[in-house]
Amino acid sequence: MIVIFAFAELLLAKLKMHKIRLNILGLSVSQTQSGAYALVLAEENGDRRIPIIIGPVEAQAIAIQLEGLKPPRPLTHDLIKSIALAFDITLLEVIIHKLEEGIFYSELLCEMEGREVRIDSRTSDAVALALRFRCPIYTTEEILQKAGIVLEITDEGSPVRSAADEDSATPGKSVYEKYTLSDLESLLAEAIQNEDYEKASVIRDEIKRRKK
């Protein structure tokens, strides 16, 4: 009986440590913390979601990569990637491995000269780097059980609005509706040049809407 109990505990521990892949569902303005954003990660083969509160700077670093914007000069995470590639360091994966007192802890699994190295990281930075290296993001069953929620999808295919959408929300109308497509292209270039990526994201959304 003791052997069966020990085996069951071991099996449960392995299940909790089993890696589950996450996808980035989107960014939205935090409803609980002023000036913050909620990064929502979705279980790849399930319906659980993990909302993680992050700051505006970190949200911007993630948003510009999601939007495919190209800054005129490298931002911090772009610089980290350039340094890593210059020294032949590859980011293999990101793992969100611990949740303690509401704080998510992550690790970067890197490869350098044939050996693997694990580096502690803030989750927001880890996600921003994962996007740039196009590497997978994982978590564990234990964390999904603790923090995972099932989000109600109001519009099919659009469960979470982007931060830019939230900021520019005007019922039935875009603030850039009166501009021509040529004007929008110029405004987009100007916003990127000024490193105003939130504004650039909104303008790009309007351009995409016009070109549909």
Query: Which pairing describes strands 137-140 and 37-43: parallel, antiparallel, or unpaired?
Result: unpaired
Distance separating the N- and C-terminal Cα atoms of the chain: 65
**Pairwise pLDDT comparison (84 vs 8), residue with the higher score:** 84
**What is the average pLDDT score of the chain?**
81
Whether the Cβ atoms of residue 164 and residue 202 lie closer than 8 Å to each other: yes
Whether the Cβ atoms of residue 143 and residue 161 lie closer than 8 Å to each other: no
Q: Which fold has domain 11-162?
A: Bifunctional nuclease domain (3.10.690)
Domain with CATH 3.10.690.10 in the chain: 11-162
Instruction: Tell me what pLDDT residue 16 has.
Output: 46
pLDDT digits (tens, 9 = 90+) for 122-181: 999 999 999 999 999 999 999 999 888 875 544 444 444 433 333 333 344 567 888 888
Instruction: Tell me what pLDDT residue 72 has.
Output: 85
Which among 146, 171, 163 has a CA at the least distance from the CA of 205? 163
As a residue count, the chain comes to 212
Please identify which residue in the block is written with the tokens 């909104």. Answer: 202
Instruction: Kindly state the tokens that stand for 162.
Output: 């982007």
pLDDT digits (tens, 9 = 90+) for 84-98: 999 999 999 999 999
pLDDT digits (tens, 9 = 90+) for 54-80: 999 999 999 999 988 888 888 999 999
